[in-house]
Each structure stands twice: as structure tokens, then as C-alpha cells.
Amino acid sequence: MIIAVDGPTASGKGTIAKGLARHYQLPHLDTGLLYRAVGRQVRLNGGDPDDPLDAARACEFPDSLLAEPMLRTEAVGALASRVSVHKRVRAALLARQRAFAARPGGAVLDGRDIGTVIAPDAPVKLFVTASLEARAMRRFRESQSRGEDVTLDAIHADLVRRDARDRNRAEAPLVEAADAMVLDNSDLDAAESLAAAIALVERRRGEQA
């Protein structure tokens, strides 16, 4: 079973995807991490994330970069959002994601375009979302727990920018797949969100049985 989990920044899709992978004993790929690695590598190369060629060159990052804790920071997330608009970057990362989705036995992938581009035939698609306020507060608490020096206002403004960039780009924009089940978890904690996600997966599996 392939489970596609898409949604905007800080919607909780990563936590839900990890929980679903654990629950169904499937491998999990956080595809945002690949774009984060490209964003980080552009900077390491001294390149410009908005330049298509610099961004494309950065797709040849070493796998060891994926384990760097700093990939999770807000700063690298913003770079990832910028490099992800380039067609060549998306093309360079496509095969790796498709191969993961094609694993025998299935997989859980989370990102922005899993249900629409990477695994359009996935039998189960979730679109996880939450209000801007709820997402900003979550991201603020996460950043604080990592000791990052950021304000709630700055995070809020960054989310608005990232939402606009991710939703309005020409290549594989963030959009609900027609057959995705929408899970709004603004008022749910992590455990409740996962329980709601499992219920939706089970409902879809029941419909398909």
C-alpha cells in the first residue's frame, strides 16, 4: 500500500506520515528533506537558490547531508522552498522518490506533490492542513525547543510566503489531489491527528476492498 501525505508547511504531515509508517510497518520518506538538502548544498556551493543552474548543480549533494540536524531549521526550509520552484530540481529528485514509492510492500511518502505527481496512483492520499495560526504556533514551539532565535511574527510571515510560493509555482504546485482525503488538524494534538489519519486510511481501504 502506498500512502501519499501532502500538505503545507508545519501542517503536521511529517508527524502523521511517520506515525502511519509505524502503524502499518511501512518505510517512510520525508521528501521535503531532499529539497532541504538541495537548498543547503546551494549555500555550501556559494550559489544562488533562485538561479536555476545553481539550484540544479546542488542536486548532487552527498547523502551524508541528509543526516545533518541543521536541515530541519527554518532557514534551510526557506531555501528549500526557493530551490523547489525550479523544473530541473524537481526532475532531478523525481526518480529517487518514485523508486521509493515503488518499493515492494508499499511506502509512506510525505511532501507537496506526492498524490499529484510522485505517486498519482497511490490508493490512499491524505491532504493534511491546519490554520495559519495553529501552524505558526507549532513551528514557533519547535524552533524554540531547538534553541533557534526566532519570533512568532517572523514565523507567521515566513509561512505566508512559503504557502504562496509552494501553491503558486508553475511546477508541481501544492494542491489537493482530486481523490485526497482532507484532514484539518487545527484543533487536534499529535495523537488525535494520527488517530484521525488512521481512521481515514481504514475508511479508504474499506471502500477499495
31 in contact with ligand DC (CB under 6 A): yes
Tell which positions 91-130 bind ligand DC, by CB under 6 A: 111-113
Q: Which of 151, 146, 33 is nearest to 97 (CA)?
A: 33
Interface pick for ligand DC out of 2, 4, 5, 9 (rule CB under 6 A): 9
Nearer to ligand DC, 80 or 197 (CB): 80
Q: At CA 37, angle to CA 84 and CA 96, rounded to 5?
A: 75
Interface pick for ligand DC out of 162, 180, 183, 197 (rule CB under 6 A): 162
Q: How far apart are CA 193 and CA 185, in angstroms?
A: 6
Residue 102: how many other CB atoms lie within 10 Å: 11
Interface pick for ligand DC out of 166, 183, 196, 200 (rule CB under 6 A): 166
Could you give the string, one character per residue 66-85, with x where binding to ligand DC holds by CB under 6 A and - elsewhere?
Answer: -----------x--xx--x-
Nearer to ligand DC, 142 or 199 (CB): 142
Interface pick for ligand DC out of 32, 49, 106, 115 (rule CB under 6 A): 32
Q: Which of 124, 117, 123, 101 is nearest to 183 (CA)?
A: 124
Question: Measured between alpha carbons, how far is residue 156 from residues 23, 164, 166 in Å?
Answer: 32, 13, 15
Per rule CB under 6 A, count of chain residues that contact ligand DC: 14
